[in-house]
Amino acid sequence: MAPPPLLALQDVMLTLGGKPLLEGADLSVAPGARLCVVGRNGSGKSTLLKIAAGEIEADGGKRFLQPGASLRYLPQEPDFSGFATALRYVEAGLGPLDDPHVAKTLLNDLGLAGDEDPARLSGGEARRAALARVLAPEPDILLLDEPTNHLDLPTILWLEEKLAGLRSALVLISHDRRFLQDLTRETLWIDRGRTRHLARGFKEFEAWRDRELEEEEKQQHKLERKIVAEEHWLRHGVSGRRKRNVKRLANLGQLRADRRNRVMPTGDVKLEASEAQLSGTLVIEAIKICKSFGERVIVENFTTRILRGDRLGIVGANGAGKTTLVNLLTGALAPGSGKIRLGANIEMATLEQSRANLDPATTLQDALTGGGSDMVEINGAPRHVVGYMKDFLFKPEQARTPSGRLSGGERGRLMLARALAKPSNLLVLDEPTNDLDLETLDLLEEMLADYPGTLIVVSHDRDFLDRVATSVLMSEGAGRWIEYAGGYSDMAAQRGAGVDARASAAPAREAKERAPKAASEKPQAKTKLSFKEQHALTTLPAKIEELRAKCDKLQALLDDPDLYASDPAKFAKASETFGALRAELAGAEDEWLTLEIKREEGQPS
């Protein structure tokens, strides 16, 4: 006989804003349970956890907490008000019999001293302090809402190991697939206000969900066919006894009501990146770049070459300098020494990790259009902003909603919509998976797979990196960065144990360059440059700089807003010349890159 649950919700009902959010939802947490709660953004996952934690009261249904059972709840946005230090905040979560030294130990394990001012904690520091508060008492039940948000990979791995060793029953909400796969043995799916339970972990959830939806579609098809058959009988059938006919007619009415009252699954986000013209083959080249802030070295003697179509993932601990490195590579920040070269025809779109630059007073419509318009341009064609909003699951009535009133998932979709609306051939995504549901992540991964340009992504999501990245750039400390071929799992295999391993002796750039040769049993003979090619390799850099200077001069001319009105012919001629020069520049860079690669391959090893 199964032990009684520590925590149970039965037939929970909740209506928000006049619309039912939860309709008969159930939750049962047994001792030692490892359960994840999944569903689309806005389906009620966080609300269900708040009801389970006793933070809010449902409109209907029952909540049972076993007498004497201890429970701790980690919200997405913890409240630090009233606490002078991080240690005081953590200690406030301890029970009368808990060891107060555990609070200090956990904070130290998580990289905090304890004397930090909670009001000045970064997002990652605040999340670590909140985790220490709920972990310190080792409660019977742990309810964790997005525990990996804002955490770096070393901390996520530490948290996984910590949770795996706890006796506490776990209920998790997370967008991190690998985290859920490693920790869960049960799955609760919230779909259209109702809950469905799978007695297996998240690893098997998605296949099961797809089967459930497919079976639902089959049942709906049978219902439609039955209604057609009954309507045909009603019009053309031979009448029997009147009572039988009246009952059958009533049954037809019930079938129609079932069809009318059916709640359809939430639609999918429609992700499409606005594409600019192709960039040159060379997108970014960094040559022995260095960057320090005071005595702190961020990048030391780093060299890399990013080509069109590359998908570069950047990982490392918080504070390692990932964002600084991205700013160096994209030209937003000048290196202390070394050289950064950007290829021709680069059109960049950026998704920033921070939502701080999103004015909370700006409406959703103005955030997408820039204000003063109801149209947004996608791939050169104007679209009404409401139609574009629907692609990202926003309702038309939300057009005038201030962004400050959007949920975390909605703000994430809004930032994604803004970034993808800008024409680009280079996408820079800083923590794009934060606050996005799993279905939206699937579609984002599919869109990035079809994106013809180049991708640079900073992420702590291991599964996302495995699916998206073709190489991973890892911080090894002291300003040293090494590139590994493949995704996160490939990087972990090469280093030995993921982000916690010591750097391998051979740089991954060498491994990446060796990878094509490994596919062939016999190495190709080294080819020397001809005299003509050597001359071209020597003279092309000067030609490239000359073409770039001409392009910059014409760009400045075309940027004059009065030129077209004052001299349309001059504007047209300048535009035509500018296009031809950019094409010539791209060709020269491609030729130089091809010759440079050939020269390197012909060098004696």
Least confident among 2-6, 218-222, 526-530: 526-530
pLDDT for 288: 94
Q: What DSSP state is assigned to residue 275?
A: B
pLDDT for 518: 39
DSSP codes, 50-69? HHHHTSS--SEEEEEE-TT-
Distance CA 438, CA 431 (A): 15
pLDDT for 257: 62
pLDDT exceeds cutoff 90 at 229: no
pLDDT exceeds cutoff 80 at 253: no
pLDDT for 603: 58
DSSP codes, 476-530? EETTEEEEEESSHHHHHHHHSSGGGSPPPSS-HHHHHHHHHHHTSSSPPPP-PPP
Distance CA 142, CA 53 (A): 9
User: Of residues 583 and 89, which shows the higher confidence score?
Assistant: 89
pLDDT for 252: 55
pTM for the model stands at: 0.71
Report the C-alpha dihedral over residues 172, 175, 181, 185, rounded to 10 degrees. 30
pLDDT exceeds cutoff 70 at 515: no
Backbone angles phi, psi at 154, to 5 degrees: -60, -40
pLDDT for 1: 56
Least confident among 19-23, 46-50, 218-222: 218-222
Report helix, strand or coil for 81. Answer: coil
CB 290 within 8 A of CB 300: yes
pLDDT exceeds cutoff 80 at 173: yes
Distance CA 274, CA 369 (A): 14
pLDDT for 295: 86
pLDDT in tens, 180-203: 999 999 999 999 889 999 999 999
Distance CA 471, CA 97 (A): 50
User: Of residues 166 and 581, which shows the higher confidence score?
Assistant: 166
Q: What DSSP state is assigned to residue 417?
A: H
Angstrom CA distances, 289 to 176, 213, 308, 329, 545, stand at 33, 52, 21, 10, 20
Report helix, strand or coil for 287. Answer: strand
Q: Does domain 7-207 have CATH number 2.60.40.10?
A: no
Q: What DSSP state is assigned to residue 117?
A: -
Query: β-pairing, 296-307 with 194-198?
Result: unpaired
Confidence of residue 272 (pLDDT cuts 50, 70, 90): low
pLDDT exceeds cutoff 60 at 387: yes
Q: What contacts 323, CB < 8 A, 6 or more positions away?
A: 353, 430, 458
pLDDT exceeds cutoff 60 at 135: yes
pLDDT exceeds cutoff 50 at 323: yes
pLDDT for 268: 58
Q: Which two tokens stand for residue 438?
A: 């799993």
Q: What contacts 484, CB < 8 A, 6 or more positions away?
A: 471, 472, 473, 474, 490, 491, 494, 495, 508, 511, 512
Mean pLDDT of all residues in 278-283: 85
Type of residue found at 177: R
Mean pLDDT of all residues in 101-108: 94
Mean pLDDT of all residues in 263-280: 64
User: Of residues 512 and 295, which shows the higher confidence score?
Assistant: 295
pLDDT for 604: 54
pLDDT for 330: 93
Give the start-to-end residue ranges of the domains of the chain.
Answer: 7-207, 208-261, 282-518, 531-601
Least confident among 296-300, 443-447, 508-512, 553-557: 508-512
Mean pLDDT of all residues in 356-380: 80
Please name the CATH architecture into which domain 531-601 falls.
Orthogonal Bundle (1.10)
Distance CA 127, CA 112 (A): 11
Fold annotation for 282-518: Rossmann fold (3.40.50)
Helical residues (DSSP H) of 58-122, grouped into ranges: 86-91, 101-109
Beta-ladder partners of 292: 297
Least confident among 65-69, 272-276, 475-479: 272-276
Mean pLDDT of all residues in 540-566: 79
DSSP codes, 30-48? -TT-EEEEE--TTSSHHHH
* CB-CB neighbours of 420 under 10 Å: 23
pLDDT exceeds cutoff 50 at 511: no
Look at residues 284, 276, 427, 410 and name the one whose alpha carbon lies nearest to residue 352.
Answer: 427
pLDDT for 514: 39
H or E element that contains 186: strand 186-191
CB 377 within 8 A of CB 393: no
pLDDT for 65: 96
> Is the fold of 282-518 the same as that of 531-601?
no
Q: Which two tokens stand for residue 116?
A: 């930090």
Least confident among 9-18, 39-48, 185-194, 384-393: 384-393
Distance CA 240, CA 236 (A): 12
User: Of residues 560 and 8, which shows the higher confidence score?
Assistant: 8
pLDDT for 197: 95
Q: Mean pLDDT over all residues of the chain?
A: 82
Least confident among 156-165, 168-177, 326-335, 356-365: 356-365
Find where tokens 């001319």 sit: 557
pLDDT for 426: 92
CB 357 within 8 A of CB 346: no
On the CB side of 47, how many CA atoms lie within 13 Å of its CA?
A: 25
Distance CA 483, CA 364 (A): 39
Confidence of residue 354 (pLDDT cuts 50, 70, 90): low
